[in-house]
Amino acid sequence: MENIMVTQNDWNVELYLKFRNERTQPSIDLVSGISVESPKSIIDIGCGPGNSTQVLAGRWPAAGITGLDNSPSMIERAKKDYPSQEWILADVMDVDSSVKYDIVFSNATIQWIPDHKQLIDAMWKLVNDNGALAVQMPLYNAMPVCGAVERAASGRWPQLDSVMEIFTFHEPGYYYDVLSFLSEKVNMWVTDYLHIMDSHKSILEMTKSAGLKPYMDRLKSEDDKHEFESEVLRNIKEAYPAQENRRVIFPFKRLFFIAYK
């Protein structure tokens, strides 16, 4: 991802959308928390293949909605699936701040960007008066699956030692301090989703489509990738016990915040 967003190989859209329901529910919950009457303009920052954008369009069908992402494969898929909507291939920091939106929306994107104060300030400049900034981010660093991946990476492959530095996470209080300087009305909450997965391998696949991706990008040989995946899977099995019917509960923690202008 260019500029302030982390550069890495492009996304596997099909693998990402294999877990469409799990990835879209947070967008539904974030949209339901926004109190803006009849917005005319909305931008979806980090729109991916457009699944979150459709949630916005479903609630506000009369609004002009723009989806923005810096992944060519994601934007290509969004254009293919939803050709009547507007899609932009760009980095959030390249968006013209003179163009304002009634809702600036971002679902599961900001963890890929290093300076969250700078980012929030930039997104806030895009918000119209009486509009809202609405953001959701996964708290991946607080989840056992993150530890499962880091244990697999530790010591064996030196090129994986600094991968976690790609991600940026802060405590909720950090975001409140940044937002409260900008807005008098801030809503925040954390949801721990309980995804019912078919198997431990399903957890691995869901993680491969996002959090595991930068690790895989740094492993060049297929043997190393296979060995690393196998080790991650073993660690996942230790971290998440199977239920009696062999399915696995995969808790997934996410932080939400909405600030009004």
Query: What three-state secondary structure class fits 135?
Result: strand
User: Does any domain span residue 8?
Assistant: no
What is the rounded CA–CA span in Å between residue 168 and residue 111? 5
Domain range spanning residue 21?
A: 13-260
Side-chain-facing half-sphere of 250: CA atoms under 13 Å:
23
Predicted confidence (pLDDT) per residue in 86-145, tens digit: 999 999 888 888 999 999 999 999 999 999 999 999 999 999 999 999 999 999 999 999
pTM of the model as a whole: 0.93
Instruction: Give the residue from 217, 233, 231 showing the smallest Cα distance to 159.
Output: 217
Higher pLDDT, 139 or 8: 139
Displacement of CA 59 from its chain's centroid (Å):
20
Residue 64 lies in a domain: yes
Q: Is residue 6 part of a domain?
A: no
**pLDDT of 186 above 90:** yes
234-237: list long-range contacts, CB under 8 Å, 24+ apart: 234/152, 235/147, 235/148, 235/149, 235/151, 235/152, 236/145, 236/148, 236/200, 236/203, 236/204, 236/207, 237/200
The CATH number of whichever domain residue 223 belongs to comes to 3.40.50.150
pLDDT band at 9 (very low <50, low <70, confident <90, very high): low
Give residue-wise pLDDT tens across range 150-183: 999 987 889 998 888 989 999 999 999 999 999 9
Smallest Cα–Cα separation from 45: which of 111, 115, 130? 111
Report d(CA 168, CA 191) in Å as an integer: 19
| Domain-located, residue 198 | yes
Q: Is 63:42 a contact under the CB 8 Å cutoff?
A: yes
Position 7 in a domain:
no
User: Structural domain tally of the chain?
Assistant: 1
Residue at 5 is within a domain: no
pLDDT at 231: 95
